[in-house]
Amino acid sequence: MNAQRGLPKGLALGAAVDGDAQRSFWLTHMRIGFGVFLAETFVVLAYLASTPELPHRSVLWAIVLSWLVFAVLGLGAAPFVAARSWRATYSVVWTILSAFAVGVVASLDRGTESPVLVLLFLPLIYAALMFTPKASAFCGLSALAVAAVVILANRTSSVPLAYGLVLFAVLGGASVLAVAASMNRTRIERHERALLSTVAEIAATDELTGCATRRVFRQRVEEEIARAIRHQLPLSLMMIDVDRFKTTNDTFGHLVGDRVLASLGLVLRRTVRSFDVVGRLGGDEFAVLFPDTSAPAVVQMANRIRRELSEATEVPVTLSIGVGSLDRAATITSEQLFDDADFALYQVKRGGRDAVAVRSRPALH
């Protein structure tokens, strides 16, 4: 497909849908993640309240209450963060920090005897649901590092070392499973994005000619008019009709007629610049939008297109071309720009076809 500015932006619908889906995905899972973190914080607070006789309770209360504050702040900030490009980094850092926070609380509590240590599995689950395989691996290694430090720091406790080794092995297995799940999820997401891109491209592109569809073309006209007004740039529109196309169809057959249209679409897309917008408006009607271009340059392009099409088709074909131009930014609508180009096209047809005409509407002040 031509890498013109029109078609990729015509595919902006697919990109927008994918962007919205990504934001929704991150917002949902961030809310779930911080929601679970908040719930587990209350559970740990209940555990501390039920075991006041154990050591370091005042310090642990302070630490776990800080969890509560961070969980609430995380929930509140989730919509803002989910719309940012650094949301993945933010989530990975938070997940790793939560694992270390669990390790600190477990060490101050009873080390390998602390039930808080079980919470190390939650970051692994979250990583499997949210992150890339590489990020999931980092989260798994963080959980294993925390477990190793807690186990080694409590070798003199009454809990057998074998218990710690089993816990470490189970965490290792969970880490491997988290990475595997992340790999499968990432592969599925990549496949879905490719399908979405393909569907968007099909919806935006005319099947026969490879040009933008009427809807996409009109959308791009609106966007380029707004850009021309904003930056005080020229903008021109070329309207193209195949002369006596019905006669061509009746004389040579519809297959030849289709090949003529396909050839015209190819010539247009091959001839214009990469950021010009080529569209098929319907039947044998085509249009080309020329950003940053005034009428004289478009007339030269129109004559070049007419020459190249005559060499590309198997039957004699001529074109009637009308050009409407906005010389400078103005309060002009897409309808006015189309009317100007259409009026010029009508003048060509009245004059005998197979020519180019221009009608420029002065900019309004």
pLDDT tens digit sequence for 89-116: 999 999 999 999 999 999 999 888 899 9
Domain boundary among 201, 229, 246: 201
Same domain, 225 and 287: yes
Same domain, 236 and 196: no
Domain boundary among 201, 229, 261: 201
Q: Are 120 and 164 in contact (CB under 8 A)?
A: no
Same domain, 185 and 257: no
pTM: 0.59
Give mean pLDDT, residues 50-60.
93
In a domain, 357, yes or no: yes
The band of 166, judged by pLDDT with boundaries at 50, 70 and 90, is: confident
In a domain, 1, yes or no: no
Pick the range with the lowest mean pLDDT from 72-76, 163-167, 231-235. Answer: 163-167
The band of 328, judged by pLDDT with boundaries at 50, 70 and 90, is: low
HEC profile for the chain?
A: CCCCCHHHHHCHHHHHHHHHHHHHHHHHHHHHHHHHHHHHHHHHHHHHHHCCCCCCHHHHHHHHHHHHHHHHHHHHHHHHHHCCCCHHHHHHHHHHHHHHHHHHHHHHHCHHHCHHHHHHHHHHHHHHHHCCHHHHHHHHHHHHHHHHHHHHHCCCCCCCHHHHHHHHHHHHHHHHHHHHHHHHHHHHHHHHHHHHHHHHHHHHECCCCCCECHHHHHHHHHHHHHHHHHHCCCEEEEEEEECCHHHHHHHHCHHHHHHHHHHHHHHHHHHCCCCCEEEEEECCEEEEEEECCCHHHHHHHHHHHHHHHHHHCCCCCCEEEEEEEECCCCCCCHHHHHHHHHHHHHHHHHCCCCEEEEEEECCCC
Same domain, 196 and 52: yes
Give mean pLDDT, residues 249-253.
92
| 25 vs 134 pLDDT, higher one | 134
Same domain, 196 and 246: no
- Res 161: pLDDT: 72
Containing structural domain, residue 32:
6-201
In a domain, 285, yes or no: yes
Same domain, 342 and 268: yes
Same domain, 39 and 115: yes
- Counting residues of the chain whose pLDDT is more than 70, the rounded percentage is 90
- Res 159: pLDDT: 62
Q: What CATH number is associated with residue 307?
A: 3.30.70.270
How many folded domains does the chain comprise? 2
Given a cut of 70, is residue 117 above it in pLDDT?
yes
Same domain, 301 and 178: no
In a domain, 90, yes or no: yes
In a domain, 209, yes or no: no
In a domain, 103, yes or no: yes
pLDDT tens digit sequence for 267-283: 999 999 999 999 999 99
- Counting residues of the chain whose pLDDT is more than 90, the rounded percentage is 63
- Res 329: pLDDT: 47
Averaged pLDDT score across all residues of the chain: 87
Give mean pLDDT, residues 34-54.
94
Same domain, 196 and 101: yes
In a domain, 206, yes or no: no
pLDDT tens digit sequence for 192-205: 878 777 776 777 78
Same domain, 20 and 123: yes
pLDDT tens digit sequence for 307-318: 999 888 889 999
Same domain, 156 and 182: yes
Same domain, 226 and 299: yes
Given a cut of 90, is residue 58 above it in pLDDT?
yes
- Res 105: pLDDT: 94
In a domain, 185, yes or no: yes
